[in-house]
């Protein structure tokens, strides 16, 4: 399949996003952080000295478009394939042709692989020798984090460039170009108001393809006025793009970014931000059990003993989810989010348990002191187990000073309570006991 087929017939009948595909770096909009004047990638493309790269970013930000620009710029033989329709046999053939082309004609071969994450490990391994020996310059495009989806061997031989969602200004520039260009909507008598363009840019969420598809639909469905001009106002733009698309891939990089923002908002005591990220996940269809599991972890890790009820709130949210289901459970889950976000914070629990685990790993199994050993099985008393143990409830305040640690760990301390919330009381209580 030729991803870059630009035959006149296909071009005329293609969607606006295809017709407006840039043919040069000068026409390319966005990604200034890697393609701005003087940037290394721009120089490599312009001077035709490109080496293997992985282009990674969400849909509609220009990965395939950049591949097309390179195909129009380079003197190398340019081959493009889609990972969804290409197998190992085809890749071996292409690698062989690239080797012969280089050996007999001295010409480089650039192979553009769209959705490279769809190639399995064996298929990716087929490309490795050709890339390593320089027979192929690989351009891989992926919406997934390549560190999760692409073989480490290929990654080590490629430069990775992350493409970001386009800004509103980028999208407006692309839309206005489309309205003026003969390749786009320039031959159609139409007027699109600034409010309408702003709305289309906002709901596109950084995706040029969505922007252009919605723009074309709005223009082509607008009824001509008395002068024969199709007018697209804000109402028409809202009707043409009724459902706002939320960028979110439950198995991809954005999934981890959003849940990270959610947790950091909880930790940072910002209930509004936490509810926003929660809404993003719910709207995109995230499994609510996943969200509640993160609440449980956060309640113990970042609130901890400063407010032990936070863990109970998270547990209650999980209980409500199982008994009520969504959408009703959205309310108790939101209540738990607000409670946890506004609770005093202390990470003393995770610090304590990790320090204890590290001590056991380093020191091994120290002997249990005689007075703490089990006395219930036959013969235990004859071995002296339990001798000297003091039962705390027999003493005032139900406390008595005695050793509860192995002999070689008398100075072992891992729990250091903060002065946040309820933990301040715990700190005072422990200090009293430890002094005794």
**pLDDT, position 417:** 85
How confident is the model at residue 413, as a pLDDT? 82
> What are the tens digits of pLDDT across the range 313-334?
999 999 998 888 888 888 999 9
Please give the DSSP secondary-structure letter assigned to residue 166.
P
Listed in sequence order, the DSSP H helices in 49-193 are 63-73, 88-105, 121-133, 146-149, 152-156, 168-180
- Exposed (0-12), middle (13-18) or buried (19+): which is 210, by Cβ within 10 Å? buried
Pick from 119, 126, 120: which is nearest to 140 by CA? 119
| Class of 168-240 in CATH | mainly alpha
Q: Is residue 6 scored above 80 in pLDDT? A: no
Which of 306, 345, 299, 302 shows the shortest CA–CA distance to 425?
A: 306
Tell me: the pLDDT tens digits for 78-117? 888 888 888 888 899 998 998 998 888 888 889 999 888 8
Q: Can you give the pLDDT at residue 313?
A: 95
Residue 137: pLDDT above 60?
yes
- How far apart CA 365 and CA 170 sit, in angstroms, is 62
The predicted pLDDT at position 173 comes to 93
Q: Which of 206, 241, 240 is nearest to 223 (CA)?
A: 240
Q: Shortest CA distance to 302 belongs to which of 342, 334, 355?
A: 342
Token output for 359: 């001590």
Q: The tokens of 362 are what?
A: 């380093």
* Residues above pLDDT 90, as percent of the chain: 23
Q: Among candidates 274, 308, 263, which has minimal Cα distance to 421?
A: 308
366-435 CATH pick, 1.10.3710.10, 3.90.1300.10, 3.40.50.300, 3.40.50.620: 1.10.3710.10
Q: How far is CA 276 from the centre of its chain?
A: 16
- Among 90, 79, 148, which Cα is nearest to 114's? 79
Average the pLDDT over 11-20 and give the result: 80
* Domain residue spans of the chain: 31-162, 168-240, 253-342, 366-435
Q: Considering only the top CATH level, what class is 253-342? A: mainly alpha
The total number of residues written for the chain in this structure: 436
CA distance 415 to 72: 64
Yes or no: domain 31-162 corresponds to CATH 3.40.50.300: yes
- All residues at 6 or more sequence positions from 303 whose CB lies less than 8 Å from its CB, including other chains: 310, 311, 340, 343, 344, 345, 346
């Amino acid at each position: 399949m030729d991803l870059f087929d630009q035959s006149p017939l296909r071009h005329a009948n293609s969607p606006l996003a295809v017709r407006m595909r840039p043919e040069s770096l000068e026409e390319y909009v966005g990604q200034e952080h890697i393609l701005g004047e003087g940037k290394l990638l721009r120089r490599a493309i312009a001077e035709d000295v490109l080496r293997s790269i992985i282009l990674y970013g969400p849909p509609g930000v220009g990965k395939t478009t950049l591949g097309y620009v390179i195909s129009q710029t380079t003197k190398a033989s340019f081959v493009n394939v889609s990972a969804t329709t290409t197998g190992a046999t085809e890749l071996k053939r292409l690698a062989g042709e690239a080797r012969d082309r280089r050996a007999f004609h001295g010409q480089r071969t650039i192979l553009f692989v769209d959705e490279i994450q769809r190639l399995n490990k064996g298929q990716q391994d087929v490309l490795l020798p050709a890339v390593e020996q320089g027979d192929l310059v690989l351009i891989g495009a992926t919406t997934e984090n390549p560190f999760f989806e692409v073989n480490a061997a290929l990654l080590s031989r490629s430069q990775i460039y992350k493409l970001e969602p386009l800004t509103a200004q980028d999208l407006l520039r692309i839309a206005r170009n489309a309205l003026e260009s003969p390749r786009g909507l320039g031959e159609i008598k139409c007027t699109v108001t600034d409010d309408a363009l702003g709305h289309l840019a906002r709901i596109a969420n950084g995706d040029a393809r969505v922007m252009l598809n919605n723009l074309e639909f709005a223009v082509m469905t607008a009824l001509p006025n008395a002068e024969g001009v199709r007018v697209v106002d804000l109402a028409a733009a809202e009707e043409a793009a009724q459902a706002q698309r939320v960028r979110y891939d439950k198995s991809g990089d954005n999934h981890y970014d959003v849940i990270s923002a959610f947790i950091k908002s909880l930790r940072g005591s910002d209930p509004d931000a936490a509810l926003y990220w929660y809404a993003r996940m719910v709207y995109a269809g995230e499994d609510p059990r996943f969200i509640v599991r993160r609440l449980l972890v956060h309640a113990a890790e970042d609130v901890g003993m400063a407010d032990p009820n936070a863990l109970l709130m998270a547990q209650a949210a999980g209980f409500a989810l199982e008994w009520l289901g969504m959408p009703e459970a959205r309310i108790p889950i939101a209540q738990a989010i607000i409670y946890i976000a506004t609770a005093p914070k202390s990470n003393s629990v995770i610090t304590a348990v990790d320090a204890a685990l590290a001590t056991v790993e380093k020191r091994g199994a120290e002997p249990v002191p005689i007075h703490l050993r089990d006395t219930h099985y036959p013969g235990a008393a004859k071995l002296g187990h339990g001798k000297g143990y003091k039962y705390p409830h027999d003493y005032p305040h139900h406390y008595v000073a005695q050793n509860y640690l192995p002999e070689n760990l008398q100075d072992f301390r891992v729990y250091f309570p903060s002065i946040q919330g309820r933990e301040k009381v715990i700190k005072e209580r422990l200090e009293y006991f430890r002094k005794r």
